[in-house]
Amino acid sequence: MSLGIGDRAPDFTLPDTAGEEHSLEGPAVVIFTCNHCPYALAWHDRIADAARDYPNVRFLAINPNDAERYPRDSLEAMRERAEREDWPMPYLHDESQEVARAFGAKTTPDVFVLDAEGRLRYRGAPDPDHQNPSLNASWLREALDSVLAGEDVARPETDPIGCSVKWRQ
Amino acid sequence: MTVELLWWDGCPSHPEALAELQRILVEEGVDAEIARVEIEDDDQARRERFPGSPTIRIDGEDIVPPGEGDPFGLTCRVYRTRDGRISPLPDPEDLREAIRSRVG
């Protein structure tokens, strides 16, 4: 079951790599992502740049992967990465995978743009091509610009592209 | 020359990897069949020494040898392009170079 456009996103509280808890609030971008996937890594800088360019929007990066089978996605590995890199958004650990299931996340990355009421206004890839940094998370930015202007999002859904979420077996 | 493409269905990069491999083989004038090997579970990944999808081997040698101690398993492989970007696919020039080194 996946969150549909117009649906209200489920409330959640998750800890970041420092143990601080974060929840949804106001317009927000939720990105399911991880450490080990080349698609997530290739798009990361573009998403981080968008987070810096929209300081009034809450960006939450969530790692939902099973760390037992994918140790590079362990909390410790997340902490090391967040400390090593300059992250403009918290990196949250969805250990139970409940948040990823509630959103219907499929891949890393999988981007969800929510309006001030917490309703889903865009879901999909950050932009059309993981190999082309100049695209600059254009789909994500277009959606955010529309949400912040109180307008309909012209392209509310695209196919998320990336590594499958690593569910516990 | 033997050319193998090892892939895992959980990673969406293999069709692009196959197309790229086919394109470069044609460009280099190499008439070799590509053996496609689907990796379906962790046991098979260990047996095949599969570091992730896609993995391309020419005459049994990985065109981008994995690092020592890199784990084998069902995952998408992280490559670096020649300009330093992270990519789910090997740099086409690495692929071309590996093919050329075998055809002399």
B54 falls in which pLDDT band (50, 70, 90)?
Answer: very high
Distance from CA of B52 to the nearest CA of A (A): 10
* pLDDT of A169: 84
CA distance A18 to A78: 10
Please give, one letter per residue, the 3-state secondary structure of chain A: CCCCCCCECCCCEEEECCCCEEECCCCEEEEECCCCCHHHHHHHHHHHHHHHHCCCCEEEEEECCCCCCCHHHCHHHHHHHHHHCCCCCCEEECCCCHHHHHHCCCEECEEEEECCCCEEEEEECCCCCCCCHHHCCHHHHHHHHHHHHCCCCCCCECCCCCEECCCCC
| Distance of residue B34 Cα from the nearest chain A Cα, in angstroms | 24
Domain locations in chain A? 13-164
> In chain B, which residues have their Cβ closer than 8 Å to the Cβ of A37?
76, 78
Global pTM? 0.93
User: What is the architecture of the domain spanning A13-164?
Assistant: 3-Layer(aba) Sandwich (3.40)
- Please answer yes or no on whether A69 and B73 come within 8 Å at the CB atom: yes
Q: How does the average pLDDT of chain B come out, rounded?
A: 94
User: Is the pLDDT reported for residue A1 higher than 70?
Assistant: no
For residue A36, the chain B residues in CB contact (below 8 A) are: 75-76, 78
* Contact between B86 and A69 using a beta-carbon 8 Å cutoff: no
Backbone angles phi, psi at B89, to 5 degrees: -125, 150
Provide the ipTM: 0.88
Nearest neighbour of A38 by CB, restricted to B10, B73, B79:
B79
**The predicted structure's pLDDT at residue B55:** 98
Q: Is the peptide bond before B51 cis (omega within 30 degrees of 0)?
A: no
Residue of A nearest to B90 (CA): A38
| pLDDT digits 0-9 by tens, A98-150 | 999 999 999 999 999 999 999 999 999 999 999 999 999 999 999 999 999 99
Across residues B16-27, what is the average pLDDT?
97
